[in-house]
Amino acid sequence: MDPVRRLSDPGLRNPVALVAFEGWNDASDAASGTLSYLIGQHDAEPFLIIDPEEFIDFHETRPIVSVADGVTERLAWPATRMYGVQQEGAQDLLLVLGDEPQLRWQTFGAILVDELRRIGVDQVVMLGAFLGQVPHTAPVPIFGTAGSTDELIRLGLSGANYEGPTGIVGVLAHLFREEGIPALSLWAATSHYLGTNPNPKAMLALLERAAAILGISIDATELAEIAGEFEVRVDAAMSASEEFSTYVTRLETLAEGADLEDSAAADLISEVEDFLKDN
């Protein structure tokens, strides 16, 4: 059984691709939320679906059911979907959004490579996010991984230093470059004490940086308004808690390069996170 279901021909011109996955790579829904915003903004419908049967462990990522008055109205399976967005310039935009697969990553990656080549994609930007000790009051740090340091310097990106387990974003970015498809990964550092909440400020930072790199025009007005409202709500919570305010001030000092006692900051983390859960 072919796991790829082609629903229509998107008719994209010289497309560039934005790719994100929910799950391990997606702190505060920053990466998947960025693509969800674009999909909603353009009322885009998927033109291709990669069926989850071979790649998803349904004990880990369960399908979602909608029941109203005892009647099952909808059953949504986790899957990877492709959307096409027409642009005014010479290049259109391909959006790839899905749940991180748990199984057969190499086969999954090979399918994506084949489909991107078939569609004619000549550049890919992968989106990811991680939890970091960064204050929500500061600009969202964006780090990059690419095929060379020169490329990062040209794009004005700070390179990430990391060795350890990776998710599907890291695997696919490496595979794309091996297969000759230029690929870059953008990673947003999100405030760890807001980790259980979607973070529209991080989404906005990823969207603006990706749009600049790909040379595409995107209306981020609505997302900027949502991000501003989000920051106002967090600031209000901070003003109601001396512990929260103290901890954020410490993080701001750390972001400015001052030395802090790790143990002193760590003593506040649990109290701050408990406060935010209650509010």
Alpha-carbon radius of gyration of the chain: 20
Q: How much is the pLDDT for 260?
A: 42
Q: CA 198 to CA 179: how far, in whole Å?
A: 33
pLDDT tens-place string over residues 108-134: 999 999 999 999 998 999 999 998 888
Sheet containing 158-159, strands listed edge to edge, beginning at the edge strand earlier in sequence: 4-6, 46-50, 80-85, 93-99, 16-22, 124-132, 183-191, 142-145, 158-159
The residues pairing with 96 across neighbouring beta strands, listed in sequence order, are 19, 82
Instruction: Say if residue 160 is exposed, middle or buried (CB neighbours under 10 Å; 0-12, 13-18, 19+).
Output: middle
pTM of the model: 0.88
Task: Please state the three-class secondary structure of 60-93 as a single string.
Answer: CCCCEEEEECCEEEEEECCCEEEEEECCCCCCCE
- Under the banding of pLDDT at 50, 70 and 90, the label for residue 264 is very low
Given CATH 3.40.50.150, say whether it is the number of domain 4-219. Answer: no
pLDDT tens-place string over residues 162-181: 788 889 999 999 899 899 99
Residue 134 has which token pair? Answer: 């960064």
- Under the banding of pLDDT at 50, 70 and 90, the label for residue 253 is confident
Task: Considering the chain, tell me which residue range(s) the CATH 3.40.50.10900 domain(s) occupy.
Answer: 4-219
Mean pLDDT, the chain, as a whole number?
Answer: 87
Q: Which of 85-99, 237-251, 263-277 has the highest mean pLDDT?
A: 85-99
The residue-averaged pLDDT of 136-161 equals 87
pLDDT tens-place string over residues 7-26: 999 999 999 999 999 999 99
The residue-averaged pLDDT of 44-55 equals 95
- Under the banding of pLDDT at 50, 70 and 90, the label for residue 277 is low
